[in-house]
A and B are shown apart, each in its own frame.
Chain A
Amino acid sequence: MQTILVIVLIAAALLYLGRRFYKTWAGKKQKGCEKCGISQPEERSV
C-alpha cells in the first residue's frame, strides 16, 4: 500500500512540475511572479 502511495505521489510531483514548466513558457498570460505573489508591475507615486 505504501509503495502504491509513493508511486502516485512521485507521478503527481512530476506532473505538477511539468505543468508548471509548460505554464511558465507556453502559458497565455503570466501577470507576475507566482512564487512571491507580486502580481503587478510595481506602481509608486512617480
Chain B
Amino acid sequence: MAQPASSSGAQKADRTLTMARAGREAVISEMRRNPNIFVIGEDVAKLGGVFGTTVGMAEEFGAHRVIDTPISETGFIGIATGAAMAGMRPIIEIAFVDFIGVCFNQIFNFAAKTHYMSGGQFKVPLTMMIGYGGGYNDAAQHSQTLIATLAHVPGIRIVTPADAYDAKGLMHTCLRDDNLTLWMVHKAIWGLGWLGLPIKTALAVVPEEDYAIPFGQARIWREGKDVTLVGYGITVHHALVAAEKLAAEGVSAEVLDLRSIVPLDREAIMKSVAKTGRLVVADEDYMNCGVTAEVLAVVAERNPKALKAPAVRVANPDVPIPFSRPMENFVLPDADRIVAAARSTLKAS
C-alpha cells in the first residue's frame, strides 16, 4: 500500500531510505528536541553502532549523551532503568537479540514492572533498538527472533517495522512513550551493506519531517480476498513474494503486517479473516507458544466460524537455527513455504 509522501515543500525531492537511515533520523530528531534522551550501549559512540544505528550521534551530541559501555548488558540496562525512573529517556542498542537473555532480570523485573510496583510513582521511558533474525549463516546464537519470549511479559511494548517509513514513524512513537518500548528490526531488511543489497520492499520514501505511527495498528500491504497472509518484519516481504506467486495461480492473497506485536491489532486480523476465510501466519521465531499461536488464538476466541479451512502456521520448527545454509533454508520460513501453506488452506475448503 502506498504511504503518503511528504506534503510540504514541493521543491523537495523524494528520498528513498533504508530502515537503518530512517530509524536513525528519528532518533536524531528526538534527541535534538529533548535533551533528556541519551544513548547507552556497546559500540554506540566511537563505532556508531554495530549496525550503524548511531553513526554521527557522538559527534553531534557529545560523550555525555552517547555513552559507550563495556560488554555488560545487565549493568547498562540497570543504569538506563534507573535513569528513566529519575526522569531521563534512555535509548539502548542490543545489536543481537540473542544476547538479551543476560538482561532478563533487569528487563522483566525492573524496566517492565517498576511503574506497576511503584503504584505509578515511577515511569520507565526506556527504548531499546534490537536486531533479530537469521538467513545469513550466523548460526544458532546470532540468528534468533525471540519476540514471543519478550511479548509474553506484561509491561513491554514491541514494534516490528518492515520498511523505512514504518521504521521512522514507529521510532518516534517509541521515543515519545512513557513505557519500556522495544523497536525490533530483522537484520536482513535493515539495509546493512554486509548483508548485500537492501530488499527493495523494505526501502521506502520517507518524509523529512517527524511523524508518529501509533502502537497497535497493523498494516495491509496488499489487499486480497481468498487468503490472509499474516507476517511481521521479514515475513511480510516473504508474504509479498508469495502473494505474487499465488496471483499467478489465480489466488488473491491479502498481506497483513502486524507491525506492532504488543499491543496486537486483533481487530485487523479478524477483519481480514472475515473477508478471506483462510489464514496463514508466518513468523521466523520458534513455533512453540509463538506469535503465530497468538494470532490463531485471536480467531479461535473471537470467531472460529470465520475460517473456511484450518489455519496454517509457518515458523521455525522449534530447532536451533543451523549454520549450514541448506539446513538454515530448510528451517526458516520463505515465500515458497507460505505459498504451500496458502495452497493447503484452499484445498481444505
- Are chains A and B native binding partners rather than an unrelated pairing? no
Chain A positions within 8 Å of B, measured between CB atoms, are none
Chain B positions within 8 Å of A, measured between CB atoms, are none
